[in-house]
Amino acid sequence: MVYWKNRAMGSLLVVLLLVYSAGAASGAGNITAAETFTTSINSSAENDLFSELSAQAELYNENFDNVPSLVKRLAASEEIAGKIELENGEMLYVTALMRGGKVGDFYRYETTNDPNSQFGPTITVESDEETIREVLESDNPLRKAVEQMNEGSLDVTVEGFFRKTVLWSIKQLYS
């Protein structure tokens, strides 16, 4: 139970910190919706990072009951933008639309700003592929994500006093 709680929390933190929640509208340019919930949790070399994150979103939603209320409060109904520099030098821009703390929509797009966003993200996560994979492959992804935030390789920006307080609390509990 503790393993799944930490795995779910870490998955959420990664998804929250890497994904942008704006809702996927089909007519807004080159947007690729995640084929969420069809890829395996343990990726092979054939799976790209977008597929990995999609699978993590499913894992998080499946174990939502085990997620601590503090993390659920941070996720709530937020719009989360993820900007990840891939190993090949390209950028991966992703969005997750959170609904009641769960991942609702998850998709990627080709521009620096999400063409579907109406108000802009309330949480933005910036990192590189190596850091994200280290978090995903960790035995304790939440603790690893916090470690990477403290080291500066995972940059999380939140809007508003409440979100900043919740993120600070998570960082204190899992440092």
| pLDDT tens track for 61-98 | 999 998 878 778 888 899 999 999 999 999 999 999 99
Q: What local confidence, expressed as pLDDT, does residue 19 receive?
A: 37
Tell me if the pTM is above 0.85: no
Q: What local confidence, expressed as pLDDT, does residue 7 receive?
A: 56
Tell me which of 35-44, 78-87, 112-121, 136-145 is least confident. Answer: 35-44
Residue partners of 72: CB distance under 8 A and separation at least 6: 64, 101
Q: What local confidence, expressed as pLDDT, does residue 75 receive?
A: 85
Residue span of the structural domain in which 129 resides: 2-173
Q: What's the CA gap between 150 and 129, in Å, rounded? A: 17
**Nearest of 80, 20, 83, 99 to residue 49 by alpha carbon:** 83
Q: How far is CA 95 from the centre of its chain?
A: 8
Number of domains forming the structure of the chain: 1
| Phi, psi at 76, each rounded to 5° | 35, -115
Q: Does residue 36 or residue 6 have the better pLDDT?
A: 6
Tell me which of 16-20, 28-32, 102-106, 116-120 is least confident. Answer: 16-20
Q: What local confidence, expressed as pLDDT, does residue 140 receive?
A: 87
One DSSP character per residue, 4-73 reads HHHHHHHHHHHHHHH---S---TTSSSEEE--TT-S-SS--TTS-HHHHHHHHHHHHHHTGGGS-HHHHH
Per-residue pLDDT band at 168 (split at 50, 70, 90): very high
Q: What local confidence, expressed as pLDDT, does residue 14 receive?
A: 60
Q: What local confidence, expressed as pLDDT, does residue 80 receive?
A: 94
Average pLDDT, the chain: 79
